[in-house]
């Protein structure tokens, strides 16, 4: 059995530890795999209430091969969401819907460790919300940008030194590049032969990998509390108003660069195709989406970005896309142990879309810079 199937066999232990049925006087109707995340195992729990209504929860097995210390990770999430809740409340917002809420186990803990050493957590499901894999319109993407920008702004006074680094060097592109080179050297030869062109593409850009980390190390870019995984599907939209409602997937909230959050959103959401599209003719950078996001992110950050951060937004987009590409490719070369895959060569397909986007950004570099200049 794989790690995931062993864990899923223990899902009942987790469900019992949370004791939700007796707490809400409900009956468990179903527990089904949910969402499109690449890392954790997510399940939707549906409970029937005595009045025939329903209440839903998200149960997640945290991936402890990737997040080595789930208790410290949960400490981050509890503290960050407590902090956000207070701000949301003070602004007259709805803290139950505008941030994640960690449900305590029957014993009052923020996570549950099962007999196979899997770690689980539960969040009440945010009702009447939508999760998008692709922006329906530039307006959706603009809204997501305002939300990610204001998330960062809300956390600007959070004591960053109290956050645990849940994955060391997460967006350290030179360190990711070293891992990639090791994967090329030690990875599967047959797979490397299939990816010859992509490996060359990545190696050709070695000299650019340290642009952001070098500026950070000399103090030319500020370290902030950032989300670090700002894919469009890590935000929930309000079904009723259509507006961005809640930033989710807080596992990687830790000190980082604003450019990481900007760049990762562009890489995923401003592409004309899916992250794993196999027809590369369908993949390019949509400049109108790039513009919508740039405008929204600067508004959300509300004056907190320095001139240098703003000037480097296109570089953030390019480097985050490149970095994700080398991570997918390294995982392909070493046997798909990190990202969930659903078909042969899935990670290679993903790497190809990222590199196609990088090449398109290079071709559209002046246009990207002109858009940024328009909003600075």
Which residues would be at the binding site for ligand GN1 (CB under 6 A)? 37-39, 66, 229, 231, 234, 249, 251-252, 264, 275, 324
Between the alpha carbon of residue 132 and those of residues 33, 70, 234, 274, 295, the distances in Å are: 17, 27, 9, 12, 20
C-beta of 37 vs 187, nearer to ligand GN1: 37
**CA 311 to CA 289: how far, in whole Å?**
18
Cβ proximity to ligand GN1: between 191 and 346 the closer is 346
Instruction: Choose the stretch contacting ligand ADP; rule: CB under 6 A; options: 176-184, 233-241, 260-268, 316-324.
Output: 233-241
Helix, strand, coil share (%) of the chain residues, nearest 5: 50, 15, 35
Select from ligand ADP, ligand GN1, Mg ion, none the partner in contact with residue 192, using the beta carbon and a kind-dependent cut-off of 5 to 8 Å: none
Nearer to ligand GN1, 105 or 271 (CB): 271
Residue 34 contacts ligand ADP per CB under 6 A: yes
Under rule CB under 6 A, residue 275 binds ligand ADP: no
Nearest to ligand GN1 of 30, 36 (CB atom): 36
Shortest Cβ distance from residue 281 to ligand ADP (Å)? Answer: 28
Q: Does 35 bind ligand ADP (CB under 6 A)?
A: yes
Q: Which residue is nearest to ligand ADP (CB)?
A: 37
Give the number of other Cβ atoms within 10 Å of residue 240's Cβ.
Answer: 9
Residue of 151, 132, 116, 129 lying closest to 41 (CA atoms): 116
- The binder of 100, among ligand ADP, ligand GN1, Mg ion, none, by C-beta within 5 to 8 A per type, is ligand ADP
Using alpha carbons only, how large is the chain's radius of gyration in Å?
A: 21
The two beta strands, 119-124 and 224-226, are unpaired
Q: Does 213 bind ligand ADP (CB under 6 A)?
A: no
324 binding partner (options Mg ion, ligand ADP, ligand GN1, none; Cβ < 5 to 8 Å by kind):
ligand GN1
Residue 112 β-bridge partners: 120
Instruction: Copy the structure tokens of residue 36.
Output: 């499109």
Q: Which does 129 bind (CB under 5 to 8 A by kind): ligand ADP, ligand GN1, Mg ion, none?
A: ligand ADP
207 and 337 Cβ atoms separated by less than 8 Å: no
Cα–Cα distance, 267 to 308 (Å, whole number): 20
Which of 131, 167, 280, 359 binds ligand ADP (CB under 6 A)? It is: 131
Nearer to ligand GN1, 105 or 234 (CB): 234
Q: Is residue 248 a contact point for ligand ADP (CB under 6 A)? A: yes
Euclidean distance between CA atoms 132 and 372, whole angstroms: 25
Q: Are 173 and 209 in contact (CB under 8 A)?
A: yes
Q: Which residues are near Mg ion by CB under 5 A? A: 37, 234, 249
Structure tokens at 52: 């025939």
- Compute the least distance from the CB of residue 219 to ligand GN1, in Å: 26
Question: Which of 99/265 has CB closer to ligand GN1?
Answer: 265
- Output the CA torsion sign for 82, 84, 85, 90: positive
Torsion of Cα atoms, 26 then 29 then 32 then 37, to 10°: -30
Both tokens of 161, joined, read 């030194």
Quick one: which segment of 125-133, 211-219, 326-334, 353-361 binds ligand ADP (CB under 6 A)? 125-133
Which listed range, 2-10, 29-37, 86-94, 367-375, lies at the site for ligand ADP (CB under 6 A)?
Answer: 29-37
Out of 42, 213, 304, 367, the only residue in the binding site for ligand ADP (CB under 6 A) is 42
Tokens 């360190």: give the residue.
175
**And the tokens for 275?**
């992250």
Contact footprint for ligand ADP (CB under 6 A): 34-35, 37, 39-40, 42, 58, 100, 123, 125-126, 129, 131, 233-234, 236, 248-249, 251
């Amino acid at each position: 059995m794989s790690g995931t199937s062993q864990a899923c066999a223990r899902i009942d232990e987790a469900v019992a530890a949370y004791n939700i049925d007796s707490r809400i006087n409900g009956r468990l109707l179903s527990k089904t795999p949910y969402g499109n995340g690449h890392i954790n195992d997510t399940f939707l729990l549906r409970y029937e209430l005595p009045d025939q209504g329903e209440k839903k929860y998200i149960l997640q097995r945290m991936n402890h091969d990737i997040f080595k210390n789930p208790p410290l990770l949960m400490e981050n999430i509890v503290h960050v969401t407590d902090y956000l809740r207070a701000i949301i409340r003070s602004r007259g917002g709805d803290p139950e819907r505008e941030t994640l809420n960690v449900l305590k186990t029957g014993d009052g803990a923020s996570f549950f460790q099962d007999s196979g050493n899997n770690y689980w957590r539960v969040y009440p499901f945010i009702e009447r919300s939508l999760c998008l894999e692709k922006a329906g319109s530039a307006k959706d993407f603009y809204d997501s940008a305002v939300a990610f920008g204001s998330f960062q702004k809300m956390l600007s006074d959070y004591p960053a030194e109290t956050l645990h680094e849940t994955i060391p060097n997460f967006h350290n592109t030179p360190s990711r590049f070293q891992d990639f080179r090791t994967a090329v050297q030690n990875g599967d030869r047959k797979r490397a032969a299939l990816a010859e062109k992509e490996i060359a593409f990545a190696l050709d850009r070695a000299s650019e990998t340290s642009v952001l980390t070098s500026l950070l190390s000399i103090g030319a870019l500020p370290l902030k509390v950032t989300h670090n995984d700002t894919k469009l599907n890590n935000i929930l939209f309000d079904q009723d108003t259509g507006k961005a409602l809640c930033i989710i997937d807080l596992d990687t909230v830790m000190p980082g660069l604003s450019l990481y959050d900007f760049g990762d959103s562009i890489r995923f959401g401003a592409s004309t195709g899916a992250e794993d599209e196999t027809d590369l003719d369908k993949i390019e950078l949509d400049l109108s989406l790039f513009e919508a996001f740039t405008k929204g992110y600067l508004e959300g950050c509300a004056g907190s970005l320095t001139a240098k951060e703003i000037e480097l937004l296109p570089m953030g987009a390019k480097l985050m896309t490149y970095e994700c590409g080398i991570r997918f490719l390294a995982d392909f070369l070493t046997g798909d142990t990190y990202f969930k895959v659903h078909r042969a060569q899935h990670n290679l397909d993903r790497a190809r879309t990222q590199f196609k986007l990088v090449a398109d950004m290079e071709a559209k570099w002046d246009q990207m810079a002109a858009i940024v200049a328009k909003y600075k």
